[in-house]
Amino acid sequence: MIGLSILIGFYLLGSILHEAAHIPLPANVIGLILFTASLFLKLVKLEWVEDAGQFLIKHMLLFFIPFVVGTMVFFHYIGVYAVQLLVSLFASTAGVLLVTGWSVKLWKRKGGEQHESR
């Protein structure tokens, strides 16, 4: 129960920061960044939130129900724009794969040059 309270607290902290500081990130992302930082800084111990995290992962399918219902509401639009959606989906996926591959290749090349110079 304490772990779930900690996770909800970070979400609420993210919501407060999002509204107060007008940070251009979703509140849940801000809370996740803060939570991750607190784990790395050892402000929160993994043992405190591990059971709550496992519970949430175990029941993750429940969190997708609103998304699926929303998809059904706009199903007509998905059918009308299916070609455009599929093209943009495949193009963006290919773009991300290419940029990631090139970035890793460049990063490894730079890392190899640094090791040789030492």
If asked whether residues 42 and 86 sit together in one domain, one would say no
If asked whether residues 85 and 41 sit together in one domain, one would say no
Between the CA of residue 87 and those of 18, 77, 80, 92, what are the distances in Å? 34, 15, 13, 8
CB atoms within 10 A of CB 43: 10
Q: Is the pLDDT of residue 47 over 90?
A: yes
Q: Last residue of some domain: 58, 79, 97?
A: 58
Q: Assign 10 a pLDDT band (cuts: 50, 70, 90).
A: very high
If asked whether residues 72 and 54 sit together in one domain, one would say no
Q: Which of these, 15, 42, 16, 10, lies nearest to 26 by C-alpha position? A: 15
Q: Is the pLDDT of residue 71 over 90?
A: no
Dist CA 47 CA 43 (whole Å): 12
pLDDT of residue 72: 85
If asked whether residues 86 and 52 sit together in one domain, one would say no
Q: Is the pLDDT of residue 66 over 70?
A: yes
Boundaries of domain holding 107: 64-118
If asked whether residues 7 and 52 sit together in one domain, one would say yes
If asked whether residues 22 and 38 sit together in one domain, one would say yes
Q: Last residue of some domain: 13, 30, 58?
A: 58
Number of domains in the chain: 2
If asked whether residues 26 and 52 sit together in one domain, one would say yes
